[in-house]
Structures are given as structure tokens and as C-alpha cells.
Copies of this chain bind each other. A is one copy, B any other.
């Protein structure tokens, strides 16, 4: 029997075994389902053999054993809302997609110590609704991704949100992990079945292993505990902008001491003019007479109408009324003379603004309702309220408006994220901004950039290449733009905090000893190379499967 024929028969037998294990309706092989899962927001090549939809850990373990038996790699996703980084698509071909969406239970909630334990399929919206139903005195942290995105999926990609609990990986513990061998482990104090501190203390005793299962292909995290932020007595948001790029370094350096000393407890996000325009409306095809890229003149026209600047920031203040008042004083002091305008908004202001919408609009001719539409989702995110609005900027270059629910993959939106980390100083922000602008100018895309004061000491520049996949040649141009961007950023020492499925090769640039170590770890935990080949894996480890 030829190898090719054997492979086909193995695949067929594996699918039969999976069907026997999960039931017919939870093993999907129909082309339309496969096609949907194989569609990202940029060019991808890999295809799936089948979609497996287990409902619990035992079924996952069984699926893995079958995969191992027939040597078919498994690509696990939680909800697959990895939009802009590859969506549900695997970085290697011919995997079975392991969709954990049916593991959707919130298995624990502690209203005293503020945590929930969730399964991999629990979404942002689901937790948000749950906490509302409980009338919980806690807020979750949300990200601008789809409200249907998995909490665990985001944690494992080490995502960041907008509240003081925004650094997701620093606010979780007690993982349940299914290893490639089918064995199930519990991290931290969870290794002891009767331990009381499992959901409230991350490190446990002995080596701290949680990090091993983030941005990796070393295990399938099926459950974890997520800590919740106590709802503050008072919340106030602030908004500011600067007119010119030249003021950017000063602005960031002025905010640094407040981020470093904890007066600003959450990430401050500063978007450039393109970014703001793209979150207000789609590309102005009429004004641009159908031409791309957007000219400075048209951009300036919109900036004038809407009153946004070259860079526009927002942040949240959390605490008692007095704590917030003091933080407000410090923010005012720091930004004095450095920004065009600095506005503080709370629930009361927002409600008043909504009530006065019409008379105000009549008086000032400013589009208050539109402004509110822009303001409110950001305001909500700072309180951990998921929103679908941020996803809409993926439609920037599309000629059709997004429908509900927003589905950028299906609608052939082009979107590639690149999010390098830099030291929290103005000079780094300026250098990255220059690199991005040069590259985007060359490739004729609008540089949608937002700079976040992510932690006490670092910046994260979130850069989006946004285009229309329906226009022939754009997929190639966008990817060329991305490749050039990555090359120039990493040459300047700015590396991304996470990787799209197309860029795992970056890990080949790391020191040899480090690659060797990762390869060894992969070999140790997944000797047959069954789990998500190439995902956050140096090239050496890729060859595991063929070693067999």
C-alpha cells in the first residue's frame, strides 16, 4: 500500500474513531464548515481534515489518543476569535481542528475573594452577563476583540485589556491542562486535590508551570481561574489629544511617572488620527474619489470636523471619589501645556451628554451622537464591558458596512495585526511611529496605530494593516507590507508580544540555545508532535513529526 493511500485510510479511520467517541454531529467534515475555519483575514494555505467538538476533558483526552494513534496533528482553539492573527486557521496543514467551544461552563464563582473558574469555551459576553446576573461587586477585564472571544484563549495569547486587571496573564491561576499524551494535570496548588489556595495563589509550590502553556503548543488548557477586579466606588475616564506628531514623545514621557508609580492603574491608549477615523467611519470613498491611500488633506478635513488630533488618548481612573480626585489632579498636572484638551467624563457626565444631545448639537453643530458612539465603547471597555464596535474598524477599506454579528473573516476583511513592545519612553514611540509610517507609505496603506502604556514600564504599539481582500493583489501587498514592517521593527529591537500564524518563523531568530531548549521541551511533552505543529515553535521542533 502506498504511503499516500495509507494516509487517506488512516484519516478515514481516525474520523470514524472520533465519530464513535464524540457522536456524529460533533465531528464535522462538510466543506462549508471546513472552509469557514480555514478563512482568516489574510492569505493562509492550511486546511483541516475535520472539526472535532468535544464537550469535556475526558472527550479531549480520547480525541488526543486517536490523533496519536493515527498520527494526525490536532489544532486546539477555544473560540477561534484570533482575528488579525490567523483566526481559526492553523499554522500547519492537515490538522484536525479541536474546537473547545462546547466547554462553556463557569464552574466556580467566589463573591468574597473575586474570582471565577471557567472552561475554555466561556466567552467575554458570557462572563459579563453572568456577573450582571449575580449582581457581582466585581468587574471583569474585557478586550476589544469579539464579545464572543474566549477568555482563556485571550489569556493564553497573553492579551491585554483596559482595566487595572488588563495584564491578563498576571491575573489567572490554577490551570487544568490536557497534555499531548492525554494526561490531565492541574497547575499551582491544584496539583494537590485538597488544596484551599488553588484559585487564589498563582505560584503553587515547586516550579511554576503556567507560563509553559501560554503562547505554546505544549498542552491544551481546558480550565482556569480568572481573578476579578473589585468594582470601584467611583470611575472616571479621561480623554486628551495632541495636534502634532512632534508632541508625542513629550506626551508619553509626561505620562510615564504616573504609570510607573501606579497613579494610572490601567493601560492608557493613544490612537493616531487614522486609527480614530477608522473607528468612527469607513474609508471616505466619496471624498477620495475611490482612490487609495487616504490623502493628508482629506484626513485633516475629518480631523477638523470631528475635533481629533494627530494622537488621541484615553485612560481610566479607579477608586474612591477622593482617590480619583487625587489621580485627576496628578493627571492634570502632568499633562498641563502638553495636550490640546483634557476632558474627564463619568457616568453622570455621560448621561447628561446623552440627554442634552439634541440641544447641544443644535448649538455647537458637533455631531454629539456620533461622538457618543465613539466614546461609549471605549468608556465601557475601561469598565470591562465587552463591545463589538472595535472589530468594525476591520471594515475600514470595505465598501460595504458590517452586519450584525460582525464577521470580518466571512466578509473578506483584510486585517493583519502587529504589536511590538518597547520601553515606556517617548523616543521609542517616535521611532516605531516613523518606521510604521515609512513602511505603510511605501505599501499604500493607512497606518492605523494605537500606542498603549501597557504596564508600568512598557509600551505596546498596536498596528493594523487593514484592507479589502476582495480586491485582487491586496492580500499579497498587505502581507509584503507586514513582512517589511516586522523586519524593520525587529532590526530596531522591537519584537511583537504575540505572533500571527504566518509569523512563527520569528522564533528562528532567537539564540540557538533557546531554540534548542524549546525543541527539547516540545519533544519531552509531545514526543509525536501531535499538538498544533509550528505554533510558537522554533523550526527545529517542527521537524519532530517527520522524525517519527
CB distance B200 to A517 under 8 Å?
Answer: no
A108 beta carbon closer than 8 Å to chain B: no
A261 beta carbon closer than 8 Å to chain B: yes
A147 beta carbon closer than 8 Å to chain B: no
How many copies of this chain are found per oligomer? 2
Find chain B residues with CB under 8 A from A370 CB: none
* Candidates B196, B206, B232, B525; contact of A493 at CB < 8 Å: B196
Distance from A267 Cβ to chain B, minimum over Cβ atoms (Å): 13
Find chain B residues with CB under 8 A from A211 CB: 203, 207-212
Find chain B residues with CB under 8 A from A326 CB: 320, 322-323, 326
CB distance A196 to B262 under 8 Å?
Answer: no
CB distance B203 to A207 under 8 Å?
Answer: no
CB distance A207 to B197 under 8 Å?
Answer: no
The A409-466 residues at the B interface (CB cut-off 8 A) are 421-425, 428, 455-458
Closest to A538 in B: B206
Distance from A436 Cβ to chain B, minimum over Cβ atoms (Å): 16
Find chain B residues with CB under 8 A from A536 CB: 205-207
Distance from A196 Cβ to chain B, minimum over Cβ atoms (Å): 4
CB distance A425 to B260 under 8 Å?
Answer: no
A40 beta carbon closer than 8 Å to chain B: no
Give the docked Cα–Cα distance between A179 and B518 (Å). 13
A367 beta carbon closer than 8 Å to chain B: no
Give the docked Cα–Cα distance between A421 and B200 (Å). 9
Binds B, one of A86-94, A241-249, A506-514: A506-514
A79 beta carbon closer than 8 Å to chain B: no
Tally of chain A residues near chain B (CB < 8 A): 91
Distance from A480 Cβ to chain B, minimum over Cβ atoms (Å): 22
Find chain B residues with CB under 8 A from A319 CB: 261-263
A351 beta carbon closer than 8 Å to chain B: no
Distance from A176 Cβ to chain B, minimum over Cβ atoms (Å): 11
CB distance A494 to B191 under 8 Å?
Answer: no
Known: A185-B514, A211-B211. A497 touches B203 (CB 8 A): yes
Known: A205-B497, A425-B112, A495-B195. A523 touches B524 (CB 8 A): yes
Find chain B residues with CB under 8 A from A423 CB: 113, 196-197, 200
What are some 27 contacts across the A-B interface (CB < 8 A)? A114-B260, A164-B262, A185-B514, A185-B517, A191-B510, A195-B495, A196-B423, A196-B428, A196-B494, A197-B423, A201-B457, A201-B458, A205-B215, A205-B506, A206-B215, A206-B216, A206-B499, A206-B518, A207-B518, A208-B215, A209-B211, A262-B319, A263-B319, A320-B330, A322-B326, A323-B326, A517-B525
CB distance A185 to B425 under 8 Å?
Answer: no
Known: A211-B208, A212-B212. A189 touches B113 (CB 8 A): no
Find chain B residues with CB under 8 A from A200 CB: 423-424, 455, 457-458
The A165-218 residues at the B interface (CB cut-off 8 A) are 169-170, 179, 183-186, 189, 191-197, 200-201, 203-216, 218
Find chain B residues with CB under 8 A from A201 CB: 421, 455, 457-458, 497
Distance from A5 Cβ to chain B, minimum over Cβ atoms (Å): 36
A158 beta carbon closer than 8 Å to chain B: yes
Find chain B residues with CB under 8 A from A227 CB: 456-457
Give the docked Cα–Cα distance between A115 and B455 (Å). 14
A284 beta carbon closer than 8 Å to chain B: no
Find chain B residues with CB under 8 A from A323 CB: 263, 323, 326
Distance from A247 Cβ to chain B, minimum over Cβ atoms (Å): 19
CB distance A192 to B509 under 8 Å?
Answer: yes
A521 beta carbon closer than 8 Å to chain B: yes
Closest to A173 in B: B457
A257 beta carbon closer than 8 Å to chain B: yes
Which residue among A206, A329, A507, A524 has the maximum number of chain B CB atoms within 10 Å of its CB? A206
A295 beta carbon closer than 8 Å to chain B: no
Distance from A278 Cβ to chain B, minimum over Cβ atoms (Å): 26
Known: A517-B183, A520-B525, A524-B523. A191 touches B261 (CB 8 A): no
Distance from A234 Cβ to chain B, minimum over Cβ atoms (Å): 12
* Candidates B194, B422, B507, B510; contact of A196 at CB < 8 Å: B422
Find chain B residues with CB under 8 A from A521 CB: 207, 521, 524
CB distance A208 to B197 under 8 Å?
Answer: no
A107 beta carbon closer than 8 Å to chain B: no
Closest to A535 in B: B206
